Chains A and B, each alone.
Chain A
Amino acid sequence: MAEKVLVKGNEALAEAAILSGCRHYFGYPITPQTEIAAYMAKRMPKVGGVFLQAESEVAAANMVFGAAGAGARALTSSSSPGISLKAEALSYIAGCDLPCVVVNIVRAGPGLGGIQPAQSDYYQATKGHGHGDYQMIVLAPSSVQEIIHLTADAFDLADLYRMPVMIMGDGMLGQMMEPVEFDLGERRKLPEKDWATTGTDMKRKHNIINSLIMNPDDLEACVRARYERYEQIKATEARAEEYMMDDAEYMITAYGTTARIAKNAIVELRKKGIKVGLIRPITLWPFPEAAYKKYADKVSAILSVEMSMGQMVDDVRLAVNDKVPVHFYGRTGGNIPYPDEIIKAMEEIAGGDK
């Protein structure tokens, strides 16, 4: 067993990336994720890696595009307004079937918004960042230990499926200190990167990394092949944590930081006699629909709690397909819902104390 150490979420993520073999980090300072860049600036030279502070988020993401095409495990991190700028490169990375990991330590928006925690980039991460038909795998850790596991798996998932993977957290999770083990868990068997631009060495035909396909039929075939891969990912990679769901009459659903608060609320609600459980999506894309379907006939209502005006709740409604009413409670603007607020919302749904 590895030794337990006390670390911040942002730093745990950076170190886990290095332990996962990432040696190329390109970034740009933005609150509240700059600690990842600062950690990389300190650590990368010590492990023979590259830390580069780019001139912009746009350039940083395109450097990741170049490094990923060249066969490296490349990482960039940012926060909401910066992710909007990286969206261009993410579309190209997906269109070129390249692996990379991008971190979004989400802050409140829109526009400059604020710097406090939020989950209002759920739509952006799961439904649309850059242009075109494509998806990213989106992982949502809810503890520092889970940040470490999911960071390691993010690089494996990216390499396995040749697509961008996003780790989505928030300022709360990034700043949180918890005792952790730097044990990456089980790693996946990965294919060779024989498609990378490494120089032909005059021994093979040239590799071309490209997303331009002028013939509509060819482009459609390429996109359809990518979506077949997405179906495979949906079938095998969707993950959720179930908490106190065995005898649950009501379901709260939340991810990341909000799920931690929801767990506290659930303990209190059960003391009041309301049997509530939690479904916590770990993968936001693919969305763990099966976890909801499983309980759609068993619970009498679902409450989605988010730090947004209600974004994930749409996917919950799609997953249960009107079989059970889905309610929403959210705070936004950088506000974090208190357990009391969640308890009150759930009590209203359940019709008061039982």
Chain B
Amino acid sequence: MAKVVFNEEKCKGCYLCMTACPKKIIVIAEDRMNAKGFRPVEVLEMDKCLGCAMCATMCPDCVIEVFK
């Protein structure tokens, strides 16, 4: 069991996290924007998350918290 939590308001939509995820489960949230005007990311299949924190490692804005 693992999960990631995105602080969406801090996200700048650079999507470096998506390139880092080994399971490729991070996707762009197409249905919403944050206050900065960026489309944040989300994980729809959280059960596949390894809790490896690779996404958080590449995030320049400390958007991501990882639980395991």
Q: In the complex, A touching B, CB below 8 Å?
A: no
Residues on A close to B: CB < 8 A?
A: none
